[in-house]
Amino acid sequence: MISEYLGIVLAGILLIGTAAADARTWTNALGRTFDAEFVRLEGNGGAIFALPNGRQFSMPVAELSPADQARLSGGGRILQHEVIAASFGSPWPREVRLDGPVGSKVISEDQAAGRYIYESPGYRFTCDSRLTDDALRNFAVMFEATRKYSRGLPISLGAAAQRGGRLDILLFGTRQAYARAGGPANSAGVFSNGVVLVPMESLGLKDVGTGYSLDIRRHNMVLVHELAHQLTPETYFAPGARGWFSEGLAEYIAITPYTWGCFRTDVHGNVVKAYATARGTGGTGGRAIGNEIVAPKLRSFLLMPYEMFSGQNANFNYAMGLLLTHYFFHMEGGGKATRITKFLQGLHAGQHGEAALKPLLGGSTYEKLEGEISAAWARMGVNIRFGG
């Protein structure tokens, strides 16, 4: 059963080192660029790359720029700090779209064992029930679009454990099966030990006799939220970031407007406001904490232990985390994301707790930052009072 398969998946992930492939822009010897994911080196001096649509191709390493040849030396390892340097400081994307169709395939469908395995270019999703062709197609597009969008944000996402170049998703036909595999009670999905686990009912999947079919009108924010966690570097779960930022970031990615392979960034914050304070755009769901918000003192909130953050006030805390994350991405410093970039770079350098938060203050105090956050959101009609 799929619950037994989870142990196999986790064991495989624990064997993976830090040399997982990362998507980036490559330059050839003539100065022309292309976006692709490095897959492996060949014995004949070639390198295999995968385009965003999943198509793989080979080119001689000698035809790459000297800098890219150097990055592929040493067995094809792309060092994490090189990925970070390439990501931070890039322009914030307004739109990220998949280029061309995304291939997906059936690996196995074993009804007797209750194990169904499917793959898209970057994901392997294993289910205890069959998926219909429409669900498989829609999931493949959503998975790959989420991965491309996350990696397109200038905050160094995309570092995640992979098996055979793919990330693992486990889907369950019943909540009982989800719980047996480790899914927390009353949760809509979870990211654990490098794997995303989601019960099918959270995704709007229904059994239509020939398998589970997907309602394409649903955005499936639950799944995108957990996919975002899977693409988040481990350092972003350190004290000082775990909670307000790790969940705020996943919320930010999950509520980004999405239509068939295309994410359009909510730079102005209208979707964020609707989701955090009300029931979302078009009444599609939201945290609904209202426009008059009484929040804890900022320092306490940023350092809140995760057990408390995800406890009885989780709905409010997730909404506040989203509001703060959007503020640092798009409101602070004229939308240049300077402070949050330094904060994330500090996390990568091993900082955590209060020391990691210093860049967010901009050399001032928590009280001053509270006022700046309140003023920025007040211009959007959201009144935040800290420490009330």
Percent of the chain surpassing pLDDT 70: 80
What is the reported pLDDT for 216? 55
What is the reported pLDDT for 359? 97
Q: Which is more confident, 295 or 226? A: 295
Same domain, 141 and 186: yes
Q: What is the pLDDT of residues 154-187, one digit of tens each?
A: 998 875 666 667 888 898 888 888 888 888 887 8
Same domain, 255 and 344: yes
Does the pLDDT value for residue 61 go beyond 50? yes
Does the pLDDT value for residue 75 go beyond 50? no
Q: What is the pLDDT of residues 289-306, one digit of tens each?
A: 999 999 999 999 999 999
Same domain, 152 and 246: no
Same domain, 321 and 362: yes
Q: Domain range spanning residue 182?
A: 2-16+98-232
Q: Which amino acid is at 341?
A: T
What is the reported pLDDT for 28? 76
CB 220 within 8 A of CB 203: yes
Nearest to 286 by CA among 273, 270, 268: 273
Q: What is the pLDDT of residues 76-107, one digit of tens each?
A: 344 343 444 446 878 899 999 998 778 788 99
Q: Classify burial at 264, counting beta carbons within 10 Å of its beta carbon; exposed 0-12, middle 13-18, buried 19 or more.
A: middle
Tell whether 7 is covered by a domain.
yes
Same domain, 222 and 290: no
Write down the residue that tokens 């931070």 correspond to: 88
Tokens at 155, concatenated? 């905050």
Tell whether 289 is covered by a domain.
yes
Which of these three, 171, 204, 232, is where a domain ends? 232
Tell whether 93 is covered by a domain.
no
CB 269 within 8 A of CB 326: yes
Q: Which amino acid is at 97?
A: R
Does the pLDDT value for residue 208 go beyond 80? no
What is the reported pLDDT for 284? 61
CA distances from 309 to 73, 102, 187, 194, 348 (A): 43, 37, 15, 21, 23
Q: What is the pLDDT of residues 245-286, one digit of tens each?
A: 999 999 999 999 988 889 999 999 999 999 999 976 655 678
* Residue 366 main-chain phi, psi, to 5 deg: -65, -40
Does the pLDDT value for residue 13 go beyond 60? no
Q: Can you tell me the distance from the alpha carbon of 11 to that of 4, in angstroms, rounded to the nearest whole number?
A: 11
Query: How many residues does the structure list for the chain?
Result: 388
Structural domain count, the chain: 3
Tokens at 201, concatenated? 């009912």
Q: Can you tell me the distance from the alpha carbon of 261 to that of 141, in angstroms, rounded to the nearest whole number?
A: 6
Which of these three, 217, 232, 247, is where a domain ends? 232
Tell whether 106 is covered by a domain.
yes
Tell whether 125 is covered by a domain.
yes
CA distances from 24 to 21, 52, 107, 344 (A): 9, 11, 28, 19
Does the pLDDT value for residue 388 go beyond 50? yes
Same domain, 249 and 345: yes
**According to the 3-state scheme, what is the secondary structure of the chain?**
CHHHHHHHHHHHHHCCCCCCCCEEEEEECCCCEEEEEEEEECCCCEEEEECCCCCEEEEEHHHECHHHHHHCHHHHCCCHHHHHHHHCCCCCCCEEECCCCCCCEEEEEECCCCEEEEECCCEEEEECCCECHHHHHHHHHHHHHHHHHHHHCCCCCCCCCCECCEEEEEEECCHHHHHHCCCCCCCCCEEECCEEEEEHHHHCCEECCCCEECCCCCCCHHHHHHHHHHCCCHHHHCCCCCCHHHHHHHHHHHHCCEECCEEECCCCCHHHHHHHHCCCHHHCCCCCCCCEEEECCHHHHHCCCHHHHCCCCHHHHHHHHHHHHHHHHHHHHHHCCHHHHHHHHHHHCCCCHHHHHHHHHCCCCHHHHHHHHHHHHHCCCCEEEECC
What is the reported pLDDT for 163? 67
What is the reported pLDDT for 10? 45
Same domain, 253 and 217: no
Which of these three, 232, 252, 273, is where a domain ends? 232
Residue 210: pLDDT band with limits 50, 70, 90: confident
What is the reported pLDDT for 281? 63
Q: CATH code at 226?
A: 3.30.2010.30
Write down the residue that tokens 């509001």 correspond to: 323
Task: Enter the pTM of the model.
Answer: 0.77
Same domain, 255 and 203: no
Percent of the chain surpassing pLDDT 90: 40
Same domain, 40 and 178: no
Same domain, 295 and 213: no
Q: Can you tell me the distance from the alpha carbon of 155 to that of 178, in angstroms, rounded to the nearest whole number?
A: 32
Same domain, 158 and 62: no
CB 248 within 8 A of CB 302: no
Same domain, 122 and 206: yes
Rg (the chain; Cα; Å): 21
Does the pLDDT value for residue 6 go beyond 60? no
Residue 220: pLDDT band with limits 50, 70, 90: low
